[in-house]
Structure 1
Amino acid sequence: MELLRRAFHYLANLEWTERVQKTCVFCDRANFASIVYEDNDIIAIDNRRLAGQFHWLIIPKPHNVRDVEALNVNHLPLLQAMDRVKTNLLSHSCPEVPMSDVHAGYHRGRRPLFGSVHYPDIVSIHHLHLHVIVRPHLSMWLFKYPPWLPFMWKSDATVLRDLTRAKHRRS
């Protein structure tokens, strides 16, 4: 019963209007639990709230993309670099784990549904970040990072595929 109450509370308190954050917790390294990877463009950290056996956030260092909804074909190299970091973390930290036990993707931002009606803004931190969750806890997989609910979650594979197709259509 507690699980249902928490799920209802989460869904009822989604941001139904576009919210603007004045500060970004990802832009201050003091907020990171621990850094697990870093290069000139990307940083990966352990998430403070584990949603599975491992839970990493892969974040571009520049704060120039709010969320997955703001991506375009020009961001494809960045997303490919983030995907390489994901692959690197998985191969070094849990090489025995099958990809079917890895849940990776983005919370969805606010976007039009029809007319002036919008989907809610699911993004809690307005700085693009990829969640990589190894062997997710069932409650988190069902309610906070739900692959079955596209208005809340978009897999990294889908984002990469969509932008790659858009780039080919543009060429």
Structure 2
Amino acid sequence: METLFRAWSYLSNLEWTERAQSDCKFCDHSKLKPIYQDNLVIAFENIRLGGRHHWLITPLQHIRDIEVLGTKDLPLLLHIDKVKKLLLDRHCPDHKNWTIHSGYHRGRRPISLLNGFYWPDIISIHHLHLHVIVEPFWTLWLFKYPTWLPFMWKSDRQVVQQVERAKLKGD
């Protein structure tokens, strides 16, 4: 019962208006404890584990969320994917693909055909970050990182494909 209450509480307290953050926790790299860092990204353990391992991979450059990504960001997204694979090989060499859940929370964006109405802003920290969760806890997988609810979550594969399609169209 507590799980259902927590899920309801999470869904009912989503950000239905665009939220502006004055200071970004992920831009201040001195406060992060990296498990990987290079000249483009930093990766660290999430403070609230969603599974056996739960890493966040974020670019050093501030990008608000996946809703603002463009074709120029494709190399960065592909690099983030390489870092994800490196972390999995390094920390979970025997992992099975079906035990990995990775993606991005969605930002605020208009609802098609409904002028003035928006999907909620799901992100708690407005700095692009990929969640990589190994063996996710089922309750979090179902409600906080849900593949079945596209207004809340988009897999990293879907984000890369969307940007690749935009690049092919010449956007």
Instruction: State whether TM-score is above 0.5.
Output: yes
In structure 2, list runs of 5 or more residues that go unmatched.
none
What one-letter code is carried by the residue in structure 2 that aligns with 1:19?
A: R
**How do 1:1-150 and structure 2 match up within 5 A?**
1-32=1-32, 34-63=33-62, 65-113=63-111, 114-150=114-150
Instruction: Determine the structure 2 residue equivalent to 1:152.
Output: 152
Q: Deviations over 1:73-131 (max 9, x none)?
A: 11000100100000100111112111111000000000001211100000110110000
What one-letter code is carried by the residue in structure 1 that aligns with 2:36?
A: Y
How far did residue 30 of structure 1 move?
A: 4.2
State the aligned residue count. Answer: 169
Moved over 3 A (4+): none
Cα separation, 2, equivalents of 1:8 and 1:140: 12
User: TM-score scaled to structure 2, two decimals?
Assistant: 0.96
Cα separation, 2, equivalents of 1:167 and 1:95: 33
Instruction: Determine the structure 1 residue equivalent to 2:161.
Output: 161
Cα separation, 2, equivalents of 1:30 and 1:5: 36
Cα separation, 1, equivalents of 2:78 and 2:142: 27
Cα separation, 2, equivalents of 1:30 and 1:39: 14
Cα RMSD after superposing both structures: 1.0
User: TM-score scaled to structure 1, two decimals?
Assistant: 0.96
Identity of aligned residues (%): 54
